Amino acid sequence: MSSNDDERILNEFKNIILPPLVSALEKVSAELAAGPIDNFRIAANFLIQKALEGLMRAAQTQKLNDINDRVRSIATACIIFELNSALPIDHPYITALLDIKKEPGGLHFICLRRKLIPGMHDCLSRNLVPILFVDSREEFESGRIKITDVRFPNADQDLLS
């Protein structure tokens, strides 16, 4: 894929594919906030799947791995911050990425209670992508995770640009 192809794919993804999915989440956000996290997870996973299918259509492929790493990384970040931006700041849930050290193969989409991430309840940045790093899936699934370290890589650069 050329750099022009990459830009075409990302442009289509950001401007055509994601907006209706974000709009759909906005419309049901209040209902999802009132229910259990499982309802939010089902809705978010459906929208994430549709976003990934749209990305593959834009790239004219049937496999995500056929899309280059740069485009996949940018699209993954866009999915997370666009879905989270559709939610009001006081919404109890958010989408995030999970990186499991003992499981090679990349990041996993997850849903979390917003209060688990310090400062997330009042973070107004639209371009924030929460990523949780854990040693094992068991550690994450135990429900006993406590996030104590929140970092903003390149924050100084972002503020200056």
Considering only CA atoms, which of 77, 41, 89, 55 is closest in space to residue 153? 77
d(CA 93, CA 79): 15
Structure tokens belonging to residue 119: 């400062």
pLDDT, residue 103, reads 80
Place of tokens 């994450």: 140
Residue 116: the pLDDT is 79
Please calculate the CA angle 55-111-63 and round it to the nearest 5 degrees: 25
pLDDT of residue 9: 96
Total domains, the chain: 1
φ and ψ at residue 68, rounded to 5 degrees: -65, 160
Rounded to 5 degrees, φ, ψ at 30 are -65, -45
Structure tokens given for 61: 């492929």
pTM for the full model? Answer: 0.85
Which residues constitute the domain of residue 76?
3-160
Q: What is the pLDDT of residue 155?
A: 47
User: With a cut of 70, which residues of the chain have pLDDT below it?
Assistant: 1, 118-127, 146-161
Task: Tell me what pLDDT residue 128 has.
Answer: 76
